[in-house]
Structure 1
Amino acid sequence: MDLRLLSSFLAVVEEGHFGRAAARLFLSPPAVTQHVRRLESEVGARLLHRNPVSLTPAGARLVGHARGLLAAANAAMDDMADLVQDRESDTVRPLRVGIMGHGSAELTPAAINAYRRARPEVPVELRQLDFTEHVTALLQDSVDVAFVRPTPDDERVLADVLTTEQRIVVVPETSPLADARELGAYLQDIADLPFFRLPSHTPRPFTEYLYFHDEAQRRSAHYALTPQEVLTGVVTGCAAGSGLKSFARYYGWPGAVYVPVLDAPWESSYLAIRADDSNPEVRIFRALTIALAQELGPLVAR
């Protein structure tokens, strides 16, 4: 059972009002209403009367259990916090966060800010990753967590899906394909685009993602390792690029046109960590990010 649903339910019970409960939880009233409905669906019974708010018999019975479960969860988190504090030395090791491109769009800064609020005593270092560091940044211990796409194909890395989005291509405004910016294009329409090249040591999953899993995809002579280099090649007519739909919100360059690829499979962005990493800060960051992805992920994909 999702503890957030119980928290919203108890807030409504204690406040006697959905709006006041939402303000207390820093959520929107529709979000609190949805949490209560999901909880009612899970337990199979109506828990609250509306207008005015009052407990049903089932709701009254659940209140005690809900408080006990939340108290136990809080106790567990306090115990973990004590453990982490005991292990900390005078010099606190920073949490190193790697971000490929724009990461997981709006979810990336939301996760970093949530972690900073939860663990203000731990410094956070941000590092921009280029396309060749899809896996190596973690395996070479350059970062502790990484926002990447697509999923790393390496058993030494664990990855959680954060967002799933439509694919796009980026072309210069002089390209014939630019006219499809509103209606979109199909894979057959982009087969002849001169996509930029990647160094030979770029991980294969990223190369396949970039070229839509088309081994015969035409290549430009132009190399690129970062979104900025991609867009420089695009607006100068040297190459085309590809990405996720949210790329357009973060890189609105004059002269670059973003065209949806209607029949390309949607792709996901991920939070990746080392599979054998025992750092408790990594576990905390991962848990916070996954929780936020459940809330914000669908919004990012729009």
Structure 2
Amino acid sequence: MDFRLVRRMGHFLAVAEEGHFGRAAARLGISQPPLTAQIQALERELGVQLLDRTGKGVRPTRAGEALLPLARRLAEGAGQIESLARDLREGRNAPVALACVTSALFDYLPPLVRGLQAARPASAVAVREMDTADAVEALRRGEVDLALLRLERDRHPVRLRSLGRDVLAAALPVAHPLAGGSGPLDLAALADEPMLVLPRGISPAYSDAMVAACRAAGFAPRAEREVGSAMAQLGFVAAGLGVALVSAGMARLRPPGVAFRDLAGPIHAVGVALAWHAERESEAVRLALSLADALFPVPADEQQGGSPADKGRQMR
């Protein structure tokens, strides 16, 4: 787009509407000689005379009258571009990129996205499913604005606001002898079972919580194979290839071929946190944190004791 042409068309529009160079110059906040020069340059560029000079002022020629509707549309479009650019510079209505771990897709993601869309209807929200390690790197590189992930503590420059606690549950093939039991399952009952696990690099917090729980139950987990996601864990369980310890929220998916058992204890896992880059706290990030306060209140004991994630939130 030739912005000089757009600017000159705006000058022409002002003169045509005011019917006077002096009044148009005052409206545009410039002096009259440069305005006259701009109109002359526009007429030379287009090869037509746009204004008739009269003793009382100016009026559009027939060619000028024909161009007036287009000049108005150009002026409106230019104004919209300037307004959008200003909003983007100041962080208003900018698109929001959000990373989300698989296990947060159903309990935490939907209300947060709905809240963002309701508060910022002119802004798009793009969601990318990724594991915790990738989400942290995406935040550091500025590829996403926010992330729903599993971390216990800030990892500079990534800050956290805890959204909720989580517990582990056993995912078993439906034909497994322990699948149909009633009441909480003693984790020690899985000591000899082949486990389907996530690589520690994908989600260190989950991996450490799972290993710690097994050791507390008196055994080291027998990792049958590593899989790339929580959904893959459930798929492999359904195929009868092993058992898995997963977020209890995954039971809401009700995947065919998989039975879920609560674990005695219960056994707490690392919960989901809302994460953002400390040096990129945009208007969208501040809105998401306000939504988190309304949607996922911090439990009273965490408010008093102050979990590491929520201490990071309070330092804002």
Could you say which TM-score interval applies, normalised by the shorter chain? 0.5 to 0.7
Q: Aligned runs of 1:183-198 on 2, under 5 Å?
A: 183-198=183-198
Match status 1:156 vs 2:152: no
CA deviation profile, 1:115-134 (whole Å, cap 9, x unmatched): 10101122110111135435
Matched residue, 1:118: 119
CA distance in 1, matches of 2:176, 2:231: 19
CA deviation profile, 1:78-108 (whole Å, cap 9, x unmatched): xxxx9x9655489964211111013164332
CA deviation profile, 1:252-273 (whole Å, cap 9, x unmatched): 1111011101214333221111
Matched residue, 1:175: 176
Give SS of 1:222's match.
Answer: strand
Comparing 151-160 with 225-234, which one deviates more in the overlay? 151-160
Q: Does the CA contact (< 8 Å) of 2:93 and 2:120 recur in 1?
A: no
Matched residue, 1:206: 206
Matched residue, 2:273: 270
Give SS of 1:102's match.
Answer: helix
Q: Does the CA contact (< 8 Å) of 1:152 and 1:205 recur in 2?
A: no
Letter in 2 for 1:202: I
CA distance in 2, matches of 1:205, 1:239: 22
Give SS of 2:201's match.
Answer: coil
The number of aligned residues is: 212
CA distance in 1, matches of 2:165, 2:92: 38
CA deviation profile, 1:184-204 (whole Å, cap 9, x unmatched): 112322333322243463353
Deviation of the 1:274 alpha carbon: 1.9
CA distance in 1, matches of 2:177, 2:244: 15
Matched residue, 1:227: 230
CA distance in 1, matches of 2:166, 2:119: 29
CA distance in 1, matches of 2:213, 2:134: 19
Q: Aligned runs of 1:131-146 on 2, under 5 Å?
A: 132-133=133-134, 135-146=136-147
Give SS of 1:161's match.
Answer: strand
Task: From the superposition, tell whether residues 203 and 105 of structure 1 become closer, same or farther in structure 2 (CA, over 3 Å).
Answer: closer
Task: From the superposition, tell whether residues 281 and 163 of structure 1 become closer, same or farther in structure 2 (CA, over 3 Å).
Answer: same
CA deviation profile, 1:45-97 (whole Å, cap 9, x unmatched): xxxxxxxxxxxxxxxxxxxxxxxxxxxxxxxxxxxxx9x96554899642111
Give SS of 1:163's match.
Answer: strand
Task: From the superposition, tell whether residues 295 and 142 of structure 1 become closer, same or farther in structure 2 (CA, over 3 Å).
Answer: same
Matched residue, 1:32: none
Letter in 2 for 1:209: A
Letter in 1 for 2:110: P
CA distance in 1, matches of 2:129, 2:153: 17
CA distance in 2, matches of 1:276, 1:283: 12
CA distance in 2, matches of 1:138, 1:217: 34
For the pair shown, the structure with the greater C-alpha radius of gyration is 2
CA distance in 1, matches of 2:92, 2:132: 32
Match status 1:257 vs 2:259: yes
CA deviation profile, 1:269-298 (whole Å, cap 9, x unmatched): 2111122223221111121122111299xx
Q: Does the CA contact (< 8 Å) of 2:103 and 2:247 recur in 1?
A: no
CA distance in 1, matches of 2:261, 2:89: 49
Task: From the superposition, tell whether residues 163 and 90 of structure 1 become closer, same or farther in structure 2 (CA, over 3 Å).
Answer: closer
Matched residue, 1:166: 167
